[in-house]
């Protein structure tokens, strides 16, 4: 919505089109911008290739790529964690970002314009117990952001990472495999960031003049000071 408010046309993709379509309709009717949606599972490299190869002609020139797909699965100690969970995080957070970026960046190079904005996490900066592989995937996002900027050195393509701390979304519900109580506890007694808080910063990065590359933004709610330091008001 932050991009639509600034007048951008939006190419939106997600696994669940039935969740995305109403969002697209709201954006169109509120901001009057064009929106094109398609369903995509970024963990499927062939689907990523086909989706971007098959975009309608009017939608092939992508100026800004926001790599937002990602998840945490489980919070067990590394030696006890479900291997499927660990692989699932690698697939979405690392391989997904690689495949989507590789599908989009060549067009940016051809057009001599573009901005890749990766959504990392404070988990990439501070590892925490039970988050070993999730934190590793987000450290990988930080490394890929740094490396992409270097590999694109000399082009006008910008590369940024926005690294939030606690944001109240479905993130924890997914992490705890649908356990609503466990998910609610994460945000209990504090004021977390919202998706809008993060979107506004992403749009701010994209809205800087062409000669300004914001490399990294670390953002946390005021009640959080590191991955493991969280102030719960009544405790
Ligand atoms: C989300 C932040 O602290 O739950 O990436 O890992 S945290």
Instruction: Give the full edge-to-edge strand order of the sheet including 158-164.
Output: 64-67, 115-119, 158-164, 216-219
Output the CA 137–ligand 1 centroid distance in Å.
12
Helices 132-151 & 96-111 angle (0-180, nearest 10): 10
Confidence check: pLDDT of 114 > 90 = yes
Dist CA 144 CA 231 (whole Å): 31
Average pLDDT of span 193-208: 97
Confidence check: pLDDT of 235 > 80 = no
Output the CA 72–ligand 1 centroid distance in Å.
8
Count other C-beta atoms under 10 Å from residue 4's C-beta. Answer: 20
Question: What is the model's pTM?
Answer: 0.96
Question: Residue 233: pLDDT band by 50, 70, 90 thresholds?
Answer: confident
**Percent of the chain, pLDDT > 90?**
98
The answer, yes or no, to whether any atom of ligand 1 lies below 6 A from the CB of 124, is: no
The answer, yes or no, to whether any atom of ligand 1 lies below 6 A from the CB of 118, is: no
The answer, yes or no, to whether any atom of ligand 1 lies below 6 A from the CB of 139, is: no
Question: Residue 170: pLDDT band by 50, 70, 90 thresholds?
Answer: very high
- Report how far apart, in Å, the C-alpha atoms of 109 and of each of 1, 15, 99, 115, 160 are: 27, 27, 16, 11, 16
The answer, yes or no, to whether any atom of ligand 1 lies below 6 A from the CB of 93, is: no
- Closest ligand 1 atom to 165 CA: 2
Q: Which two tokens stand for residue 104?
A: 């989009």
Output the CA 25–ligand 1 centroid distance in Å.
30
Domain ranges of the chain: 62-219
The answer, yes or no, to whether any atom of ligand 1 lies below 6 A from the CB of 166, is: yes
- Closest ligand 1 atom to 131 CA: 6
Nearest CA to ligand 1 atom 6: 123
Q: Do you know the residue count of the chain?
A: 235
134 tagged catalytic: yes
Q: What is the CATH number of domain 62-219?
A: 3.40.50.720
Quote the mean pLDDT of the chain.
Answer: 97
Average pLDDT of span 90-100: 98
Dist CA 188 CA 4 (whole Å): 32
Q: Which pLDDT does position 143 carry in this prediction? A: 98
Confidence check: pLDDT of 193 > 90 = yes
Confidence check: pLDDT of 35 > 80 = yes
In terms of phi and psi (left: phi > 0; alpha: psi -120 to 50; beta: otherwise), the region of 116 is beta
| 223 or 233, which is more confident | 223
The answer, yes or no, to whether any atom of ligand 1 lies below 6 A from the CB of 73, is: no
Average pLDDT of span 131-156: 98
CB 64 within 8 A of CB 111: no
């Amino acid at each position: 919505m932050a991009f639509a408010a600034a007048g951008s046309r939006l190419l939106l993709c997600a696994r669940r089109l039935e969740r995305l379509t109403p969002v697209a309709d709201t954006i169109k009717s509120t901001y009057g911008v064009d929106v094109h949606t398609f369903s995509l599972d970024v963990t499927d490299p062939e689907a990523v290739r086909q989706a971007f190869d098959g975009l309608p002609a009017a939608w092939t020139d992508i100026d800004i790529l926001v790599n937002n797909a990602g998840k945490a699965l489980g919070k067990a100690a590394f030696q006890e964690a479900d291997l499927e969970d660990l692989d699932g995080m690698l697939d979405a957070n690392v391989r997904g970002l690689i495949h989507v970026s590789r599908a989009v960046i060549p067009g940016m190079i051809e057009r001599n314009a573009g901005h890749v904005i990766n959504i990392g996490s404070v988990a990439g900066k501070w590892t925490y117990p039970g988050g070993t592989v999730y934190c590793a995937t987000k450290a990988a996002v930080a490394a890929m952001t740094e490396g992409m900027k270097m590999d694109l050195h000399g082009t006008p393509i910008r590369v940024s990472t926005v690294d939030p701390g606690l944001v109240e979304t479905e993130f924890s519900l997914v992490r705890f495999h649908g356990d609503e109580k466990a998910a609610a506890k994460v945000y209990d007694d504090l004021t977390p960031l919202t998706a809008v808080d993060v979107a506004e910063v992403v749009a701010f990065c994209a809205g800087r003049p062409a000669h300004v590359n914001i490399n990294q933004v670390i953002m946390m709610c005021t009640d959080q000071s590191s991955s493991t330091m969280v102030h719960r008001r009544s405790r």
